[in-house]
A and B are shown apart, each in its own frame.
Chain A
Amino acid sequence: MLLKLAWRNLWRNRTRTWLSALVIAIGLVAMIFMDTMMVGMNTNMVKNATDSLMGHAQMHALGFRDEQDVKLTINDLDQALLQLEKHPDLKARSLRIVTQSMLSSSGGGEPVLSLGVDPEEEQLLSKFDEAIIEGEYLDSVSGQKLILGWKLAEKLELGLGDRLVLTAADAESGEMVQELFRLSGIFKTGEEKMDASMVLVARKTLQSMLKLEGRIHQIALRYSKLTQDGTPVNPLKKPDDSSKNELLLWTELMPSLYMISQMTDLSMAIMGTILFLIIALGITNTLLMGLYERMFEFGVIKSIGTTPWQAARIMLFEAVCLGFVSIIVGLILALFVTALFANYGIDYTGIEFSGVTFQEKIYPSYKWSRLVLYPFMSLGFTLLASLYPAFKLWKMLPVEALRKRKF
């Protein structure tokens, strides 16, 4: 009965109700839309980061990441590879030699990070093959070909076919060793670090140069099944300490990137609260207006035996009804707006953000939990908005309310 009364009261002033509902609905749409864009942006950033070199996870010998010591290769490689082979979700892996070295040409020298890779394996982990702008990608696991980024090429004034010398410390004696390479390709990944200070060469060549035959510094992994956050659904079990190896997910390898996605969650929560609070104040105002207009009526309702709490409930029910109407309107609008942007995307390509460059358009992406959370949030805030009017109604003395009407 009280609910029926509230529902009918709500539709007494249709314009006002629709306007209030629209305000709440637009708030809801804004939240859902911003959220889907944020999720889309995060997905995009994570994808860029994990697709370009890092992979979804990497294995190293313990200590290698900190010390970059050329001697610290993965322990018991055969056993480690066996483990990897057994995992059903592993899509690709690349075994890499990673070493700090000096690249010199006739035009001068530059410190670089050298990667020794199997070009075929590496193709599945990073996009150097697609990023070649001049010459060609590596074609063999051995040989003297070398590719590097366009910025480095520019700095050293290099052209295809130029002779280059890599100098690095070997793993046995730590003495400097040198190897002659020929520039066969120049890439442009869009990522500063890679384009300015990274070279790729054949893995076997680098292994023998550094006296690391059969040994590996880094295994980069790609999983086939990922959650919406971009983390693997079934990550590999971490090796125990006795293996002296470590296996880290991208969230641990690049904590700042992971932090951003966590931070956006927090900032969305704060923004949402502020937005809904403002809306709630507006709704409170509207409900109060409705209360004052119907003062006499509520006086009658209370005089004929409606208890204060029952009267207050009429107001709360009104708010709940308003909330539900708003949510339905809001969800329809939100689906429409995000569907629109999902078709066209938003073009941020080429803009760098915390070390990652957007390479693709951003498409809004849903997190289903949010599609439930935000409507509940708007319902909650609408209810919150009705607390004060409901309290007024609860406290209101019927005699005073009855006096409000002059006949």
Chain B
Amino acid sequence: MEETVIVAHKIFKAFGEGETEIQALRNVDLDIKRGDFAAIVGPSGSGKTTLLNILCGLDNVSSGEIKVSGRSLQEMSGSELAQFRREHIGLVFQAYNLIPVLTVLENIEYVMLLQHVPAAERKERVHTFLAELGLEGKENRFPAELSGGQQQRVAIARAMVSKPDIILADEPTANLDSETGGQLLEMMRKFNEELKMTFVFSTHDPQIMERAKRLITLTDGRIVSDELK
């Protein structure tokens, strides 16, 4: 049986009030299943970032309901949301994901430290991912000493090590050249296949869209198509 990780029901999101009100999301219904590898696409301003922010509880909805791993996000306080994200959701942003004063190793360990994962297990998980991502030997570098592609890979490692139910990535390849971006996506795809990790990411790049298993198209805040490939 397919398990549903995220259920979004009749989501509306408006910014501002009165005349300047912007309807960023209109009546969005969305189910994300475990093992999905879904791309959210659409023109600039169509609401991709807004949707992703809402799915992880960074932003709140104007109306509608969201459940992630069976928990309703609207009922949680700021601190509960933070802890919920720490346990259940991995996040990757477009760039500057890493804490500049921490080394690669420390960045990856950060969430696990908040989760109180024992040291031995932390070490093991970090090294598994560093090897998978081809970043061995770089654990004591600072983010500024890495290329953009390497930084994004570390960000994915950080999102993965805490064993979340889902990883949400807002344009993870937008700051990379197409080759590096393609490699990053391959990596995500591999984790999706091998570890059954669920990914939802937004993108502008047609090459990237092609590799998604599911394509969700947004226009003016509405889902206009949702197809499996």
Contact = CB atoms under 8 A, between A and B. Distances in A.
Interaction A to B: yes
B83 A405 contact: no
Nearest to B54: A399
Interface in A391-407: 397-399, 402, 405, 407
The size bracket of the interface on B is 20 to 34
A124 B93 CA distance: 84
A399 B86 contact: no
A237 interface: no
Given A399-B59, A407-B174, A306 B82 contact: yes
A56 interface: no
Interface of A is mostly: helix
Interface in A169-214: none
Contacts of B58: 303, 397-399, 402
Contacts of B174: 407
A307 B102 CA distance: 19
A380 interface: no
Contacts of A108: none
Given A402-B93, A405-B96, A305 B83 contact: yes
A1 to B, nearest CB: 5
A307 B85 contact: no
B113 A1 contact: yes
Contacts of B86: 304-306
Interface in A287-313: 296-297, 300-310
Contacts, number: 71
A12 interface: yes
Interface string B113-139: 111000000000000000000000000
Given A305-B111, A306-B82, A308-B78, A300 B101 contact: no
Contacts of B96: 296-297, 300, 405
B100 interface: yes
Interface string B76-113: 00110011011100010111111111100010011101
A155 interface: no
B158 interface: yes
B63 interface: no
A5 B99 contact: yes
Contacts of B110: 1, 304
A246 to B, nearest CB: 67
Interface in A32-50: none
Contacts of A402: 58, 93
Contacts of A310: 114
A308 B81 CA distance: 10
18 contacts: A1-B106, A1-B110, A1-B114, A8-B101, A9-B101, A296-B96, A301-B99, A303-B56, A303-B58, A304-B110, A304-B111, A307-B79, A307-B83, A308-B79, A397-B58, A399-B53, A402-B58, A407-B95
